[in-house]
Amino acid sequence: MKHKPVLALVGVFVLPVALAWLVLAQGWFTPGVRGHGEWVEGHIDAATQWRLVLVTPAHCDYCASATELLNNLDLALGRDGDRVRVEQQAAGEGLVPGFVYIADPPGMLVMRYPMGADEVQNRETGRDLLNDLRRLLKYSRAG
94: left (phi over 0), alpha (psi -120 to 50) or beta: left
Q: Where are the alpha helices (DSSP H) in 27-95?
A: 63-76
* pLDDT at residue 101, rounded to an integer: 93
Reported as a pLDDT band with limits 50, 70 and 90, residue 143 is low
Residue 112 reports pLDDT greater than 90: yes
Tell me, what's the pLDDT at 89? 83
Mean pLDDT of the chain: 86
What's the predicted TM-score (pTM) here?
0.75
Residue 23 — pLDDT band, cuts 50, 70, 90?
Answer: confident
* Three-class HEC string of 11-37: HHHHHHHHHHHHHHHHCCCCCCCCCCC
Report the alpha-carbon distance of residue 63 to residue 45 in Å, rounded.
22
pLDDT at 32 over 70: no
Phi, psi values for residue 62, rounded to 5°: -115, 0
pLDDT 10s digits, 121-139: 888 988 999 999 998 888 8
Please determine, for residue 56, whether its predicted confidence score (pLDDT) is greater than 70.
yes
Q: Rounded to whole angstroms, how far apart are CA atoms 2 and 49?
A: 67
